[in-house]
Each structure stands twice: as C-alpha cells, then as structure tokens.
Amino acid sequence: MQDNAVLDDPNVTRVLLAEDHQIVREGLRALLSASPDMLVVGEAADGEACILACQTLDPDVVVMDLSMPKLDGVSATRAVSAMGVRVLVLSMHGGDEYVRPAMRAGARGFVLKGAGLAQLVEAIRCVSRGDTYFGPGIQAPPIAQDPPRDEDPGLTPREREVLQLVASGRSSSDIAAMLSVSPKTVETHRARIMTKLRAPNSASLVRAAIRLGLVPLDDP
C-alpha cells in the first residue's frame, strides 16, 4: 500500500503508465521508482483502461504509448487531456505522422522508447510543470501555424477501434469475433469510416490509420 503522505506530497509527480506490453510497464515502473519525486500510481494496458484509471487515480502525467488495443493512444490522449491530465508520449516511432496527431490531441511531450532514464524523468518533470518537451530525434511540429486538416475526421471510439484492426490486417469476421459483434456490423462501421475518411479502398484506410497514429508504419 502506498503511503498517503507520499500520495499527497505536492512535490511528487503522480504518474500513470499506459502501455500494452506488461514487461515494458514493469521496466518503466522500476526505473521511475528510483526517482524520489516520481510515484507510479497505476498502469493501463489499453486506451479505455487509461481513461478509467485517470478518473479514479488522478495522475499528474500519463506516459502514453500510441499503439494500444481497444482505444489507441491518440484517442486516449485526447480524452485524458480534456480531463486536465498532462500526457507524455513514449513511442517507438518519432516521425511527423506520429508526433503531429499526438500533439494535436493534446500531448505535451514526445520521447522515443530507448531514451535513458534521465531523459524520461526530465521529460515527465517538464510536462508536469506545464511545459512542452521533445526528446532527441523528435522534431516539434509547427502546430500553431498549421492550417486545419483532417487529423480528427470525427470517428467514434468504436470506429477508430475498427479502423485500427482493419489497418492491422484483420478480416471482418476476425474483427467481429474480437469485438463480439456481427460481421455485418463491422462492415457497417467500415463503410462509415470510408465515408468519413474519403477512403475508396483498403490501402487508403491503412494510410489514414497510420496518419492518425493508430498503427505503426511496420504493421501489415
């Protein structure tokens, strides 16, 4: 059980880890526990769990992966940022097609996985203060100067989930089984997604999913 004095210490940053790989979460927790001003208050293995955890655990900063099941990291970032929780993205990929959607969704920082502990702690502290942080190798997108684009095409959480699975190479029957719905329902979602994204074929859907940060470039 965590000490209430530590939980209530204003000098301690409360961190939530949102990452679908348990071994990565365990490694991050162990690393951050070495910093006396960091406290990992919880973990989440998918985007939906991250949102629920933020509602109950009141973290200061979420360390967010982008490619997660149920709800992707960009959608989760948008939701928890609206709750007033600051987000630091920790990702394998640092290209503009990943950084830009995350920052538009409300992320305050972006660091590549593989960064050292000192850099990660510095990034968390920076984001916790309300500043913006970009790790080495990450080019900050000129978001403020960008004209409005279709980064957020108005997909529902379920549609984003279906798009993520379609772009990962899942068939309609596979998706139906995973989501406990009928294949016809999946096809209906797919048709609506194609209309919203103005995507005429599967290749266009994959490109849109990459642009929205739902799947990494090396996924099928």
More confident of the two residues 204 and 133: 133
pLDDT tens-digit series, residues 112-127 = 988 888 899 999 999 9
- At 20 the pLDDT is 92
pLDDT tens-digit series, residues 137-189 = 887 775 433 434 445 567 888 888 888 888 878 888 989 988 888 999 999 99
pLDDT > 90 fraction of the chain, expressed in percent and rounded = 39
Provide the pLDDT confidence category of residue 216 given band limits of 50, 70 and 90: low
Residue 60's Cβ-side half-sphere holds a number of Cα atoms within 13 Å equal to: 22
Q: Which residues of 148-163 are buried (b: 16+ CB within 10 A; e: fewer)?
A: eeebebebebebbbbb
Cβ count within 10 A of residue 21: 11
Lowest mean pLDDT among 108-112, 139-143, 208-212: 139-143
Beta bridge partners of 110: 89, 134
More confident of the two residues 35 and 200: 35
- At 2 the pLDDT is 52
CB 155 within 8 A of CB 196: yes
Cβ count within 10 A of residue 46: 20
Task: Kindly list the structural domains of the chain, giving each domain's residue range(s) and its CATH number in brackets, ordered by start.
Answer: 4-145 (3.40.50.2300), 157-211 (1.10.10.10)
- At 196 the pLDDT is 83
More confident of the two residues 67 and 88: 88
Residue 176 in tokens: 């139906």
- At 54 the pLDDT is 93
The gap from C-alpha 43 to its chain's centroid, in whole angstroms, comes to 13
Q: At what angle do helices 183-197 and 157-167 cross, to 10 degrees?
A: 100
- Over residues 89-107, the mean pLDDT reads 88
Provide the pLDDT confidence category of residue 218 given band limits of 50, 70 and 90: very low
Give the CA distances from residue 141 to residues 47, 98, 111, 129, in Å, rounded to whole numbers and listed in that order: 24, 10, 14, 21
pLDDT tens-digit series, residues 77-95 = 988 888 889 999 999 888 8
135 exposed, middle or buried (CB, 10 Å; 0-12, 13-18, 19+)? buried
Q: What is the chain written as a DSSP string?
A: ---HHHHT-TTSEEEEEE-S-HHHHHHHHHHHTTSTTEEEEEEESSHHHHHHHHHHH--SEEEE-SS-SSS-HHHHHHHHHHTT-EEEEEES--SHHHHHHHHHTT--EEEETT--HHHHHHHHHHHHTT--EE-TT-PPP-GGGPPP-TTS----HHHHHHHHHHHTT--HHHHHHHHTS-HHHHHHHHHHHHHHHT--SHHHHHHHHHHTTSS-TT--
- The whole-chain average pLDDT of the chain stands at 83
